[in-house]
Structure formats: C-alpha cells, structure tokens
Structure 1
Amino acid sequence: MTKEERPSFEEALTKLEAIVEKLDDEDITLEESVQLYEEGLKLSKICSKTLENAELKIEEIEKKK
C-alpha cells in the first residue's frame, strides 16, 4: 500500500470494522477469511501507527508548554 493509497485513520477503522463483520459470517470461505485477515492486519497497523504518531505529537506539544 503506497502512501497515496493509504487510507485515513477513520477510513481504515471503518474498513477494519467491516472486515470483522464479514469474518463473523459463517458462510465465508477459508480463502476469503485469510484474505480478509491479511487486509485487516494491514489496516490495524495503519491505525496503530497513526495513533502512535498522534501520541508522539501530543507529548511534544506538552513538553513545549
């Protein structure tokens, strides 16, 4: 996923929630499950990294006070 294709935090979170719902479907195939799981991991990393960066920015702002 390139930087241009990288979704915003909100978009990634929404997509991640949709993936979780799809994975709860009993009719989903194993292949689909694995594909969704892989996509979910990527989105989860994006969300985690975004939150980590926001936390670092907040800490930096607090230090400047």
Structure 2
Amino acid sequence: MEQGDIESLSFEAALAELEQIVRSLEQGQAPLDESIDLYQRGDRLKRHCEARLKAAQAKIEKIALGPDGQPAGTSPFDAG
C-alpha cells in the first residue's frame, strides 16, 4: 500500500494495521529491509491516526450554559 492508500483508511483500519506492524516488528522475524519498510509504513500510519484524532477533537464542542442554566450556545472543546 502507498501513502494514498493510508489516507483513505478509517482510523480503526489504520490503527489495526499499525498494531499488526508493531507485533511483527516485536517478533523480530522479518529481514532487515522488510523491517525498515514496516517501520516506515508504521510511522505513516501513526501520523495518519494522530491527524484523524486531531480532526475529530476539533469537531467536538461543549455546550455553554447561560446564567439561567439553559444552553446558550457552544464553544470549542478544551481538553485541559
């Protein structure tokens, strides 16, 4: 799979593939060149997952309540 294939993956599919790559690398059975290729793909998958999470977080909004306790609109999510 190429980079374009990674960009079309859902978060869940990319994470599952990344977990599979990590298991494979931890076993240490792959030849060096294949291990390098796996590591590089894993890095691209990790960055893709991080970007998908960041985009999802940006979409989350919290409801702001007015002085009367009623919803008064929304404000950006603040994880802190």
For this structure pair, what is the TM-score category when the shorter chain's length is used for normalisation? 0.7 to 0.9
Unaligned runs of 5+ in 1: none
Structure with greater helix percent: 1
RMSD: 2.0
Residues 4 and 30 of structure 1: is their aligned pair in 2 closer, same or farther, counting only changes over 3 Å? closer
* TM-score normalised by structure 2 residue count: 0.69
- Higher RCO (C-alpha under 8 Å, 6+ residues apart): 1
Secondary structure at the counterpart of residue 7 of structure 1: coil
Query: Is 1:6 paired with 2:3?
Result: no
Q: How many residues are paired up?
A: 63
Percent of matched pairs sharing the same residue: 37
Question: 2:62 maps to which residue?
Answer: 62
* TM-score normalised by structure 1 residue count: 0.83
Residues 39 and 4 of structure 1: is their aligned pair in 2 closer, same or farther, counting only changes over 3 Å? closer
Distance in 1 (alpha carbons) for counterparts of 2:4 and 2:39: 19
Choose 1 or 2 for highest CA Rg: 2
Unaligned runs of 5+ in 2: 64-72, 75-80
Distance in 2 (alpha carbons) for counterparts of 1:26 and 1:49: 28
Structure with greater strand percent: 2
